[in-house]
Structure 1
Amino acid sequence: MFQILVSGIAACLLGLALTCVVRKVAPQFGLVDQPDGHRKLHRSATSLGGGIAVFLAALIVTVVSMAWYGGWLDLSWERQRMLLGLAIAGLAIVVVGALDDRFGIRGRQKLFAQVVIALILVGFGVNIQNVQIFSWRLELGSAGILFTVFWLLGAMNAINLLDGIDGLATTVGLILTTAIAAMAISIGRMEIALVATVFACSLAGFLCLNFPPASIFLGDAGSMLIGLVVGTLAIESSLKGPGTVLLAAPLAIWTIPILDSLAAILRRKLTGRSIYTTDRAHFHHRLMDRWKCNRKSLAFAALCCAITSFAGLGSVILNNDLIALITCVALLALLISFRIFGHAEFRLAANRFSSMGNSLLTPFWNKQGSTHHSSVRLQGSRKWEILWESLVEWAEKMNLSELRLDLNLPLVQEGYYASWKQSGRSEADREWRFTLPLVVSGNRIGTLFVVAERSQDTAAQDLETLLCLLEPFEVNLNKIAEEISTSPASVPAADSKSISPILPSLSLAEKTG
């Protein structure tokens, strides 16, 4: 334990020193994060490359400690090989991340690189062959390689998605690696405890300059490195036997990153967006919406991670997976019920299941003309439903089959999704579909999707019907979007009096009065 403590102190000091150096030289290599006024809202250009400093500090201290305390650790070849693989994979992910920070890499290219790096770790012995939760044991066999790669990919990208406010990814990584170090000590894996402690302390040194207001960022090199290291060490610290992972503990430790990633995927898939679409509806964005303070948001996120990490540690020490399960489910329920995070995604999923249930349970002879209508405020407080209700009334009068509206305004943290559908309204081979990107001041803020039956003699007449909808709709949409973009903090939520009717006969003031 004394050796681990000394190594941790050395890693913290070296991490701080290297961070100071990287912060100074990073701009000379173009490693600078510029605010863009859309998604990156920090006040001024900030150095990137914190991940390089963390990696070098952790690697140097770990190598020196292993050489100095080699006899104390008494590592087998298999464990030495795993640590060597982690070092090589860590170097590779830092290089990929640094290139992405400097030049930008397409999502698919980065994913391919992550798969290759995960396979490097598998080749060096990191492989989940079996998983066990409660008393259930699942033999993965050759599928274990796929499961391991999937786990590592999820780990790298989950932390990357969380890296959205000053100090968050660093703090989460510090808490998770500290919990892993304690888990490793409890099962006698002292080399894992050493690596986890050194990495956590390297992050602590970096956090001194990354704490809000940050003067240097991790960059993709750092966030993906944290995910890779924590994902690998979580596997190794949860081994019950050769290749057998007690799954409850690592899942508990990863609850918040996993929840954030799953919510993002669910939110984007259920609204018809690409999973690569950026938004400001992640866990940390919700916290910032609520408290308007980086440090308060960081403290709450750290508290949540600490709770789940202690639950994972307790499940290992007490050999009771229920501790992890109950704690994580209770935390998730609290986050959703108090509308802190996950409630919008929960409503989207509930609406989708409700629609599917109605479709399955309604007799086919009663489906003609039946309507399903749902709307979810994903983020913000603007009264987009007023605009949506006018669209629905127009759709009903024009006998449309389906209508969907998806709004995403990251800059002002507004999001809204609504759908309306009439069953049995048209035959599939007579339908026309129209997808309109909604653009305000050169920025795309959403999508309008329309389905209707060919009811006119010519396509031009059908399009004329559509234009009756689009022209007043876009005027109203531009009015609202430009108002809140100009002064999001002071302009009140748009009400019915500020929106012109879409139909000449439709007065929104009368509808909502």
Structure 2
Amino acid sequence: MIGSLVTAVLGWSLVALVIAATAARGAIAYAHRRGMLDQPGQRRSHALPTPRGGGIGIVLACTVVLPGVLWGLPGRWPASVIASLVLALLLVAAIGWWDDHRPLRQWPRLGVQLMATALFSLALLVDAGITWQWLPLLVLAGGWSINLHNFMDGIDALLAQQGVFVSAGIGCLAASVDQPALAGAGIAVAAACAGFWLYNRPPARIFMGDVGSGSVGLLLFALAAMVWRLEPALLWPALILGSGFVTDASLTLLNRFLRGRRWYAPHREHLYQWLVRSGRTHARAVAWYLGWNLLVAAPAAFMARQHPAMALPACAAVYTVAGATWIVTKRRCMRRALKKDRHVAP
């Protein structure tokens, strides 16, 4: 039984990886034909014009694979939840694909994103018989996840790496409560992100684009919400897994609010961007986040899963350490960048 489950998950994951990689490769040629190239500049961290939109491969892979995994493996999810997840994914991907071709104002994008998360969240709550009072919180959480992952998609391989780590981690959490369908879905999303990573690793041949970054944000939110629906205590280790990204995006946004700047305007004030501005390569900056994930987030999430009574304190402790690390590291990077280039604004 276990052997057949493993074979099925690996088979679906291989399909997801191949679809994502093939579509990303095709998106390179498409982007060149359509002139969808991100140009280097003050707000960009790369040195050469680079195609965008490769995240469409992740969307296609998950649209094909997730229904099969969530419906076909033991622990089958209701058709209404699966259908709402796919519809939400397509809505977020469609508005992102449009924005990649012809930039949109922030409010239409946000409206579609919130509508997508509301559709999925409502289906999840109705199926579980959970009170609708959770709906506003889930919608806000989903909208924030979509946008924070968009904000964090600024250097080669960073978001693809995070997608692999968090979705695989949530898959392991689902497996720990004997939920093969959701475990397989997490592994499949990780495989799709890995397929895109093959073309996005430094030096990147293509960027994810809004079609991919927003979709990855939605998928990670959906996986976390589904594991919360299985067992509420699993929310804390799931949040720990995403602590590196959530801390960087949240503290950067808060800092911009306090300084009276537009939160949605492009900028280079995230920690990962300061790591690059201070002279580190994209690969070294990405390795910094990988180190956090493997040395801090993964062990803490494991501990929180093994000791549910300590899950909330462990989550709070991880985010406290992450915040302190963000402040100290950013200050050091800013000082280093200012020494490197006296024209860099603090």
TM-score scaled by structure 1? 0.60
- Written as runs of structure 1 = structure 2, the 5 A alignment for 1:80-479 is 80-126=79-125, 141-241=131-231, 244=232, 246-306=234-294, 307-319=296-308, 320-321=310-311, 322-336=313-327, 339-341=328-330, 380-381=337-338, 413-415=344-346
Give, in angstroms, the shift of residue 153 of structure 1. 0.8
CA gap of 1:46–1:379, structure 2 versus 1, over 3 A, is same
Partner Cα distance (1:247, 1:75) in 2: 20
CA gap of 1:271–1:63, structure 2 versus 1, over 3 A, is closer
Partner Cα distance (1:251, 1:92) in 2: 25
1:215 alignment partner, SS class: coil
Give, in angstroms, the shift of residue 73 of structure 1. 1.9
Describe the superposition over 1:223-270 as per-residue Cα deviations: whole angstroms up to 9, x where unpaired.
0111000011012123355xx464422321221222122212221122
Which piece of structure 1 moves more, 40-49 or 326-335? 326-335
Aligned to 1:3: 8
Letter in 1 for 2:80: R
Give, in angstroms, the shift of residue 127 of structure 1. 7.4
Give, in angstroms, the shift of residue 128 of structure 1. 12
Aligned to 2:32: 27
The share of aligned pairs that are identical, in percent, is 22
Backbone CA RMSD of aligned residues: 2.9
Partner Cα distance (1:412, 1:158) in 2: 28
Give, in angstroms, the shift of residue 146 of structure 1. 0.6
Letter in 2 for 1:314: M
CA gap of 1:245–1:14, structure 2 versus 1, over 3 A, is same
Alignment: residue pair count? 338
2:338 alignment partner, SS class: coil
Which piece of structure 1 moves more, 9-18 or 297-306? 9-18
User: Is 2:44 the partner of 1:43?
Assistant: no
Q: Please say which structure displays the higher CA radius of gyration.
A: 1
Partner Cα distance (2:338, 2:127) in 1: 45
Partner Cα distance (1:239, 1:66) in 2: 15
Partner Cα distance (1:128, 1:154) in 2: 23
| C-alpha contact (below 8 Å) 2:45/2:154 kept by paired residues | no
Give, in angstroms, the shift of residue 24 of structure 1. 1.7
Partner Cα distance (2:82, 2:213) in 1: 20
Partner Cα distance (2:219, 2:20) in 1: 16
Partner Cα distance (2:181, 2:343) in 1: 47
Letter in 1 for 2:320: V
Partner Cα distance (2:135, 2:343) in 1: 43
1:57 alignment partner, SS class: helix
CA gap of 1:343–1:121, structure 2 versus 1, over 3 A, is farther
Describe the superposition over 1:152-175 as per-residue Cα deviations: whole angstroms up to 9, x where unpaired.
011111111100101111111111
2:48 alignment partner, SS class: coil
Letter in 1 for 2:83: L
CA gap of 1:234–1:301, structure 2 versus 1, over 3 A, is same
TM-score scaled by structure 2? 0.87
CA gap of 1:18–1:275, structure 2 versus 1, over 3 A, is closer
Give, in angstroms, the shift of residue 17 of structure 1. 1.8
Letter in 2 for 1:318: H
Aligned to 1:73: 74
| C-alpha contact (below 8 Å) 1:50/1:206 kept by paired residues | yes
| C-alpha contact (below 8 Å) 2:50/2:206 kept by paired residues | yes
Letter in 2 for 1:60: V
CA gap of 1:343–1:143, structure 2 versus 1, over 3 A, is farther
Aligned to 1:54: 58
Give, in angstroms, the shift of residue 301 of structure 1. 1.1
Give, in angstroms, the shift of residue 50 of structure 1. 1.4
| C-alpha contact (below 8 Å) 1:281/1:379 kept by paired residues | no
Letter in 2 for 1:103: R
Aligned to 2:3: none
| C-alpha contact (below 8 Å) 1:162/1:283 kept by paired residues | no
Partner Cα distance (1:304, 1:18) in 2: 30
| C-alpha contact (below 8 Å) 1:128/1:245 kept by paired residues | no
Letter in 2 for 1:256: G
Letter in 1 for 2:304: S
2:329 alignment partner, SS class: coil
Partner Cα distance (2:91, 2:15) in 1: 24
